[in-house]
A and B are shown apart, each in its own frame.
Chain A
């Protein structure tokens, strides 16, 4: 997928060296896998299943082999050579093609799932085994998504194998995606229980605290349903503030969440594309808190409506679910959020759209022990930290002034600390007292940065 290296118009544009024969080989296997899947998508029934499984096998083997070749061997450490010069990672032709392909997949998935029939049917066997029901487009999507987290998780693990923090964190997101977002919901269906994601909470799964969902879970799930409602409410309203108080937003966003899981694995190569400018930050706060406010107000209104016996809103709640589900659930989190990875970076949804991230961010900024400490006066303003920040935080603005980084957006991925060549940044859960204390070893000039 990445072998059509093109240069982009960067100031120090330089021809990217020829891809080695071994790398071409592995990338050819990946390409063959994609060809196999494409063939399966249009092939007659006879050929369909063979092409599908062969394609998937080649895609997986190719991705693993390429990851090993690229990151598994040689000295471990920060590997960013040619990051801004290779077209695939700097909005070149390959990046645009990838974005179009990803976006196209989401559009077909949401609006024309009938065209995915050929890809859905081969999964019937797996779906029957796991869920005791035939596959549908969402099972296809969930399976591909989980596979992407698994395969690219292996890549992330190899790439960051020098850092215990990233090794543990990568295993964690893979575990939660595979176990909590794929196996467990499937098993629940097999056991004739409501499909429920224990790793997603309100306000991200906005409807988990809607009266309609609560009613349905309690009715259809019985004792387990009551537990699900309890779990959803307890995680959203009790565990989230408590965990965020001790560890910051990262316990969820870069350790548990599936959206974060995909961003940290499949999206890792695009993290530097996030916009670091002040203007982008202004968009971020105005959009993401609006989404959060919308979810909170709607949830409150729906409960009020239920309490008043439906006299307040009538059938408006259904309308809302549909509209929100379309605008936010599909267009924002899917089409833009993942489809535009290669253009806008891997955390567009998390940064601009996710109400859970906004909620966690408010907690992190105001009620948390978490901060990224800067190490005295050691910063040289090189900009590596800001570059790798997937949430678009201009980290060096803080580091070069010796100030701790306390930002609502920070998902605590820890990449800034890893990329820093001078050992300046460290994720810490210290006491709240003195949390904003800047280093005495550097004069934090008071000229304003964010406003």
Chain B
């Protein structure tokens, strides 16, 4: 069997590794134009800030690929012939495949702003992007970042590391309004303030203004303000790369359409990761999941199907994490940004330190936990995942909160304060007692 994978991001690479494990005899070829080897996309920001070198963001050393017989071709796939089962490459002879995985990823999403073509306007998705940014920001004093999401705040942190003045344009009334509730967003806002980032909420980009040299000189916002700047970062989301799929005549919408086995409309052609769009995602799940973790899970799932073990993509409870400057964030399950009828949140925030916890649960007699998120506290993935799968009540979670504590040793423990806060807020309920503290000693003593 010859499996050809277009794209060496996390989805493509995980698929290759899983197929190698399931089918030791398979021939596996990874094609990528961007880099010779797999790199960690979430680490791009650390290259710019000088924390890491390019070799440091390679998850595997170079010998790994040859030793595991994973063939690498650095080239651009120009056309897929689904009838002849062939991939045409720019500089290499065509590759015949038995199975083809499109893991082409995504690129920066632009919204046809006037002036978006100007020099100094760019997004941050790929290694060439960060190299370009390194060059184009060398002399920049003021920058504007469009978009209040994860890439937006990463760009702000990167630019601030070089002492560049940053203004963020955020469409919503608070940071990452599509994901974070207002309290979490307020904590992120404090981080932005502490690190010297100017934020304009309820503000969008209207136009990028350039000079005679086609260089950015300012942006005009939806509120009519003109902000002088020499560089504009676009962080308003990503767009699946579907050119190859379109050329091959596959069914597409925003992304490459796939069924729950991640099969495209053509036989033996699959899609996974940022470029894939599920036709019928389960309720509450997005059709396109442009995330490292889901890319990894989709790559693993599709490998089973490719190896003759048809496996629908079921990712289990949602999880994600991020770091907003110095503030860590984790989420497990579903924590909606806006109130949802029939559901309620318990929110605890430390009086002075930047740490907080949110327990989202069903507002009925069961009080079933629906989601759990934290700022400045580390939670144990296994524990949260088990709670969500078992559908335990929020009262159980609070009484056993120490079990989910993943903070380093000597860090202050907040479980008792959190339980006390819950009791104070719900005098009508029988008071909770913290049964489970953190650590081995606590486990031995509490039974």
The interface residues of chain B lying within 8 Å CB-to-CB of A449 are: 64
In the assembled complex, how far is the CB of residue A134 from the closest CB belonging to chain B, in whole angstroms?
A: 43
User: Judging by beta carbons under 8 Å apart, are B134 and A14 in contact?
Assistant: yes
Residue of A nearest to B411 (CB): A164
Within the complex, which residue of B194, B319, B410 is in contact with A377, where a contact is CB–CB below 8 Å?
B319
The reply to whether A414 and B381 form a contact with Cβ atoms under 8 Å apart is no
Nearest Cβ in chain B — how far from A11, in angstroms? Answer: 5
Q: Are B410 and A168 in contact (CB under 8 A)?
A: yes
Contacts of B297 in A (CB 8 A): 377
- For the complex, what is the distance from the CA of A421 to the CA of B327, rounded to whole Å? 9
Is A80 an interface residue when CB atoms closer than 8 A count as contact?
yes
Taking CB atoms and an 8 Å cut-off, the chain B residues in 279-305 that contact chain A are: 292-293, 296-297, 300
Residue-wise, chain B 316-329 has the 8 Å CB interface mask toward A (1 for contact) of 10010111011010
**Are B52 and A84 in contact (CB-based, < 8 A)?**
yes
Report the minimal beta-carbon distance from A162 to chain B, rounded to whole angstroms: 7
Contact A77 B326 (CB under 8 A): yes
Check if B440 sits within 8 Å of A430, measured CB to CB.
Answer: yes
Q: Is the CB of A423 within 8 A of B43?
A: no
- Across-interface contacts of B20 in A (CB, < 8 A): 445, 447
From B58, which residue of chain A is reached at the shortest CB distance?
A383
**How far in angstroms is the closest Cβ of chain B from A281?**
11
A86 CB contacts on chain B under 8 angstroms? 50
Chain B 411-447 interface mask (CB, 8 Å, partner A; 1/0): 1100000000000000000000000000010000000
Distance from B239 Cβ to chain A, minimum over Cβ atoms (Å): 21
Kindly identify which residue among B18, B48, B56, B378 contacts A386, using a CB–CB cutoff of 8 Å: B56
User: Which chain A residues border B300 with CB–CB below 8 Å?
Assistant: 443
Tell me whether B163 is interfacial, beta carbon within 8 Å: yes
Cβ of A439 and Cβ of B50 under 8 Å apart?
Answer: no
Q: For the complex, is A17 an interface residue (Cβ under 8 Å from B)? A: yes
Q: Which residues of B contact A75 (CB under 8 A)?
A: 194-195, 325-326
A376–B381 contact, CB under 8 A?
A: yes
**Contact (Cβ within 8 A) B51 A83:** yes
Q: Are B51 and A380 in contact (CB under 8 A)?
A: no
With A15-B138, A382-B40, A443-B18 already in contact, the answer to whether A423 and B382 are too (CB < 8 A) is no
**Beta-carbon contacts of B62-99 to A below 8 Å, as 1s and 0s?**
01100110000000000000000000000000000000
B250 shortest CB reach to chain A, Å: 27
The verdict on A234 contacting chain B, using a C-beta distance below 8 Å, is no
Q: Which B residues lie within 8 Å of A378 (CB)?
A: 293, 319, 321, 330, 381
Interface residues of B in 42-66 (CB under 8 A from A): 42-43, 46-54, 56-61, 63-64
Do most interface residues of chain A lie in helix, strand or loop, or is the interface mixed? Answer: loop
A380 and B61 contacting across the interface, CB-CB below 8 Å:
no
CB distance from B19 to the nearest CB of A (A): 10
Is the CB of B408 closer than 8 A to any CB of chain A? yes
In the complex, how many angstroms separate the beta carbon of A72 from the nearest chain B beta carbon? 16
Closest CB of chain A to B285's CB: distance in Å? 17
Residues of A428-451 at the interface with B, using a CB-CB cut-off of 8 Å, are 429-431, 439-443, 445-449
Closest to A169 in B: B410
Count A-B pairs with CB separation below 8 Å.
170
Distance from A137 Cβ to chain B, minimum over Cβ atoms (Å)? 39
CB neighbours (8 Å) of B194 from chain A are 75
Query: Given known contacts A84-B50, A168-B410, A396-B59, is B163 in contact with A426 (CB within 8 Å)?
Result: no
| Chain B residue contacts of A380, Cβ below 8 A | 40, 42-43, 292-293
A322 beta carbon closer than 8 Å to chain B: no
Tell me the minimal C-beta distance from B383 to chain A in angstroms: 9
Residues of A within 8 A of B407 (CB): 426
Residues of chain B within 8 A of A277, CB atoms compared = 61
**B21 and A387 contacting across the interface, CB-CB below 8 Å:** no
Number of A residues with CB within 8 Å of any CB on chain B: 62
Q: What separation, in Å, do the CA atoms of A21 and B410 have in the docked complex?
A: 37
Smallest beta-carbon distance B137→chain A, Å: 9
Across the interface, which residues of A come within 8 angstroms of B307, CB to CB? none
Q: CA–CA, A441 to B149, complex, Å?
A: 26
Q: In the assembled complex, how far is the CB of residue B158 from the closest CB belonging to chain A, in whole angstroms?
A: 10
CB neighbours (8 Å) of A168 from chain B are 410
Assess the B42–A382 pair: CB atoms within 8 A.
yes
Contact B21 A14 (CB under 8 A): no
State how many angstroms separate the Cβ of A412 from the closest Cβ of chain B. Answer: 10
Contact B385 A376 (CB under 8 A): yes
| Alpha-carbon distance A87/B40, docked complex (angstroms) | 25
B161 on interface, CB distance cutoff 8 Å: yes
> B residues within 8 A CB of A163?
408
- Candidates A17, A377, A383; contact of B293 at CB < 8 Å: A377
Closest residue on chain B to residue A386 by CB atoms: B56
- B292 — which chain A residues lie within 8 A by C-beta? 380
A375 adjacent to B296 (CB under 8 Å)? no
The CA of A80 and the CA of B56, in the complex, are separated in Å by 14
A240 CB, nearest partner CB in chain B, Å: 21
Q: Which residue of A lies closest to B57 (CB)?
A: A383
- Is A10 in contact with chain B by the CB < 8 A criterion? yes
Cross-chain contact A84 with B51 (CB below 8 angstroms): yes
Residue of B nearest to A388 (CB): B51
> Closest CB of chain A to B56's CB: distance in Å?
5
A364-409 contacts to B, CB under 8 A, are 373, 375-378, 380-384, 386-387, 394, 396-397, 400
User: A154 contacts the other chain (Cβ, under 8 Å)?
Assistant: no
Let me know if B165 is at the binding interface, CB within 8 A.
no
Which of B47, B59, B61, B297 has the largest count of A CB atoms less than 10 A from its CB? B59
- In the complex, the answer to whether B410 meets A164 with C-beta atoms within 8 Å is yes
A418 in contact with B43 given A77-B325, A83-B50, A384-B52 (CB within 8 Å): no
Whether A80 pairs with B40 at a CB distance below 8 angstroms is no
B330 touches A447 (CB 8 A): no
Smallest beta-carbon distance B6→chain A, Å: 20
Contacts of B57 in A (CB 8 A): 381-383
Determine the distance from Cα of A84 to Cα of B43 in the docked complex, in whole angstroms. 14
**Across the interface, which residues of A come within 8 angstroms of B17, CB to CB?**
445, 447
| Chain B residues within an 8 Å CB radius of A80 | 46, 49-51
CB-based contact A278/B61 at 8 Å: yes
Query: Among the listed B316, B325, B378, B440, which residue makes an inter-chain contact with A429, where contact means beta carbons less than 8 Å apart?
Result: B440
**Do the beta carbons of B410 and A384 come within 8 Å of each other?**
no
Q: Can you name the residue of chain A whose Cβ is closest to the Cβ of B300?
A: A443
- Contact between chains at B378 and A418 (CB < 8 Å): no
Q: Is A54 an interface residue when CB atoms closer than 8 A count as contact? A: no
User: Are A165 and B411 touching (Cβ within 8 A)?
Assistant: yes
Chain A residues lying within 8 Å of B59, measured Cβ to Cβ, are: 381, 383, 396, 400
Min CB gap B165→A, angstroms = 14
The complex places the Cα of A429 from the Cα of B319 at a distance, in Å, of 26
Contact with A along B135-152 (1 / 0, CB 8 A): 000100000000000000
Contacts of A83 in B (CB 8 A): 50-51
The 6 closest A-B pairs by CB, nearest first: A376-B381, A77-B326, A382-B43, A423-B378, A164-B410, A381-B59
Residues of B within 8 A of A (CB): 10, 14, 17-18, 20-21, 40, 42-43, 46-54, 56-61, 63-64, 67-68, 130-131, 134, 138, 161-163, 194-195, 292-293, 296-297, 300, 316, 319, 321-323, 325-326, 328, 330, 378-382, 385, 406-412, 440
> Could you write out 13 A-B pairs with CB less than 8 Å apart?
A11-B131, A84-B50, A84-B51, A164-B408, A164-B412, A378-B293, A380-B42, A380-B292, A383-B59, A384-B46, A384-B51, A423-B379, A447-B20
Apart from A165-B411, A443-B18, A448-B67, what are 20 other A-B pairs with CB-CB below 8 Å?
A: A12-B50, A12-B130, A77-B325, A83-B50, A84-B51, A84-B53, A164-B410, A375-B380, A376-B382, A381-B10, A382-B46, A382-B52, A383-B58, A387-B51, A387-B52, A387-B56, A397-B60, A422-B323, A431-B440, A447-B64
